Amino acid sequence: MPEQTLTINKTRLEERIHKLAEIGRIGETGVSRLALSKEDKQAVEIVKGWMEEAGLAARIDHFGNLIGRLEGKKAEAPVLMLGSHIDSQPYGGRFDGVIGVLGAIEAVQTLQENSVIPDMPIEVAAFCDEEGARFNKGLFGVRGILGKLEEGELDRKDKNGITRRDALLSFGCDPERFKESEYAPGSISAYLELHIEQGPVLEAKDAPVGIVTGISGPLWLTVELEGFAGHAGSVPMHMRQDALVGAAKVIVALNDLASEDPSAPTVGTVGSLKVFPDSRNIIPEKVMFTVDLRDIQMERRNIIENQLRKRLHLICEDHGLTYTVSEDTNSEPRYCSEDIMKTMRAASKEIGLNAPELMSGPFHDALAMSYECDYGMIFVRCKDGISHNPKEFSTMEDISLGTELLYRTALKLAVK
């Protein structure tokens, strides 16, 4: 699509992306902007200013979400919501989540500049703590507004012992007033999210933009193994209760199970591991590690989970270990609205795109929203499929096309 035919302002969007990338920057291209941190607050404040510049009434709610609102002809009608997140992984990139928030602001600002008054209110959300990197449980802000938080979430601690409750208070939020920030059932008509793909499919298809058909169901577990500490130089190998050896075998088992069917989209990952007492010459007594298991087919994911639990039990028996497994997240696959996908297909053709359709392996704020309303997602090609890494990269040409598709989709949904 020639740049001169873009409705959205590519230059403005690019400037905002680059400016936001300076907050929490690590190295040349990386970003570390953990949820509810001082960097996150700085980013929220600057994005709030851009929302207001775009003509939105912006607020920070008690879950730490930044939400901007553009009124429509029918003030009481359910809102059309656009959004994503601006928090990052500790070793993240510039585009994950960010293009969805800044692209949504650009889409609404373009509506304003074209004197379009939507039939219903439009809201742009930068949801708090989508990543889950700091407190080991994500989608916090979006689940908050839907009244879907779980018991004990405010007591979760980060690696420095700070609870989510204390982090929210420091951010200027009041957990005692959560109810004020919840949305009534039925008050959101639809949700749209623009995001980098975080995978290699679009690049392999030589396509700048894709239409998402659904999101794989994530299962997050925390596994703790306990053995017995002893001197590394004196306890015979056959007498050891080494929790780290047991954990290593479970981790390999997860990798093997997730890899059994090369044609399946199953993925299994252990991304965090803690060892106690963590000393060179002491046999590890306790090990905690996370499990991230995903699949678009729930039955297959359940089979693998059951096989993993059986392997865990046998490995712990063999090594004289005890274990506990706690479930942090468990979601079924969620499919995008067929009506919204039809709208996206029509908008895609208008701008000369033949957007392929693909599933999302990673979860997004859209996953939580799917339980409240119809949702649709647009993916933008990213180089080599790299994400959650400073090398994450998408071109402004591709991001602009994705934002243009978001704008035209929102226009079709908001103006009948």
> Which CATH architecture group holds 217-330?
2-Layer Sandwich (3.30)
Given pLDDT bands bounded at 50, 70 and 90, which one contains residue 1? low
Cβ atoms of 365 and 85 within 8 Å: the answer is yes
Decide: pTM greater than 0.95. Answer: no
| Average per-residue pLDDT for the chain | 96
Instruction: Count other Cβ atoms within 10 Å, centred on residue 377.
Output: 29
Q: What is the pLDDT of residues 112-142, one digit of tens each?
A: 999 999 999 999 999 999 999 999 899 999 9
Q: For the chain, give the longest Cα–Cα distance.
A: 79
β strands within 36-117, DSSP E:
57-60, 66-70, 79-85
Nearest to residue 134, comparing CAs of 32, 277, 30, 21? 32
* Model pLDDT, residue 396: 98
d(CA 15, CA 260): 45
3-state helix, strand, coil in the chain (%, to 5): 40, 25, 40
Q: How confident is the model at residue 218, as a pLDDT?
A: 87
- What do you get for the CA distance between the two ends of the chain, in Å? 26
**% of the chain at pLDDT higher than 70:** 99
The class of domain 3-216+333-414 in CATH terms is: alpha beta
pLDDT digits 0-9 by tens, 31-76: 999 999 999 999 999 999 999 999 999 999 999 999 999 999 999 9
Q: CA angle at residue 15 from 13 to 19, to 5 degrees? A: 120
Residues whose CB falls within 8 Å of the CB of residue 44, separated by 6 or more in sequence, listed in order: 60, 64, 66, 86, 126
3-state secondary structure of 200: coil
Pairing state between β 122-127 and 79-85: parallel
Across 292-318, average pLDDT: 96
CA-based nearest residue to 143, from 134, 131, 130, 133: 130
pLDDT at 296 over 90: no
Which structure tokens are listed for 222? Answer: 């925390």
Query: What are the DSSP calls for 251-306, one per residue?
Result: HHHHHHHHHS-TTS--EEE---EEEES--TTB---EEEEEEEEEES-HHHHHHHHH
Binding residues: 85, 96, 131, 195, 388
Q: Is 299 exposed, middle or buried (0-12, 13-18, 19+ CB in 10 A)?
A: exposed
- In the predicted model, is pLDDT for residue 385 greater than 60? yes
Q: How many Cβ atoms from other residues are within 10 Å of residue 346's Cβ? A: 12
Residue pointed to by tokens 């802000």: 141
Work out the pLDDT band at 3, boundaries 50, 70, 90. low
Token pair listed for 266: 């199953």
Task: Break the chain into its structural domains and give their ranges.
Answer: 3-216+333-414, 217-330
Question: What digits encode the pLDDT tens for the residues 161-220?
Answer: 999 999 999 999 999 999 999 999 999 999 999 999 999 999 999 999 999 999 988 899
Q: Phi, psi (5° rounding) for residue 49?
A: -65, -40
Summarize the annotated binding site for Zn(2+) as residue ranges.
Answer: 85, 96, 131, 195, 388
Q: Is the dihedral of CA 36, 40, 46, 52 positive or negative?
A: negative
| 2: pLDDT strictly greater than 60 | no
